[in-house]
Amino acid sequence: MKQMSITRIALAAALSAILSVSLVAPAAAARVYNPDSNLWEESTTVAARSKRGSAIAKAIVDYETTLKPGTIVVETSERRLYLVMEDGKALRYGIGVGRDGFRWQGQHKITRVAEWPGWTPPPAMRKRVPDLPAYMPGGPDNPLGARALYIGSTLYRIHGTSEPWTIGQAVSSGCIRLTNEDVTDLYERVKVGALVVVRQ
C-alpha cells in the first residue's frame, strides 16, 4: 500500500514536470510556417511582419494637394504611393522602393499598362547579375508580378511583386513595387496618360 502511494507521488511529480516544460517551452520557441519563403520562422518574426503589414495596408487618407484626381504621387522616403482622389482624399498604398544609389525623382506620365507582364532585364542589370535570363515570361514567379504601369520612356515601372515581404523596404533597382493585390487595384483605377510624381 505504502509502495503504491510512493509510486503515485513519483508519477504525479513526473507528470507535473512534463506539463510545466511542455507549457513553457513551446511559447519560447514557437515557430510558424511561411509559405512565401518556404521556411519555418519564429513567431516573433511573424508578429513583427503582421504589425508592419497593417501599417502599410491600403487605406483612404486625408491628402491636401493641388494635383488633380488620378495623379499618382510616390513618396519614396515614406515608402508610400498615393492616388489622388476628390475632396482632399487619396488612396494610400505601401510600396517597396529603390535601394541606395537607385532612387530617383521626377515627373512622367503612364505610357503603357500590362497584365502579367513579361520582363526583359536591362543590360546594366544583367551585367550586375549575370545569372538573370534575357527574358522572363509573365506569371506568378515573374519579378514584375500581376500588373505593370510603365513610366514615361524610362526603364522604371510601378509593378507587382512575387516577393510581398519586401513591401516597405528599399530593395529594387529603381522600380516601385506593390503587392500583387494592391497593384491590381491600382491598375483598375489608373489610365494611360496619368501623371506620376516621384519624390525623394
Residue type, 21: V
Active-site position among 159, 160, 177, 182: 159
Whole-angstrom distance, CA of residue 164 vs CA of residue 159:
12
**Residue 115 annotated as catalytic:** no
* Ordered DSSP codes for the chain: -HHHHHHHHHHHHHHHHHHHHHHHHHHHS-EEEETTTTEEEEHHHHHHHHHHHHHT--EEEE---SSPTT-EEEEGGGTEEEEE-STTEEEEEE-BEE-TT----EEEEEEEEEES--B---HHHHHHSTTS-S-B-SSTTSTTTTEEEEETTSS-EEE--S-GGGTTSEEESS-EE--HHHHHHHHHH--TT-EEEEE-
Active-site position among 97, 175, 178, 190: 175
Q: Look up cell 530617383; give the residue.
A: 104
**Residue 175 annotated as catalytic:** yes
Catalytic residues: 159, 175
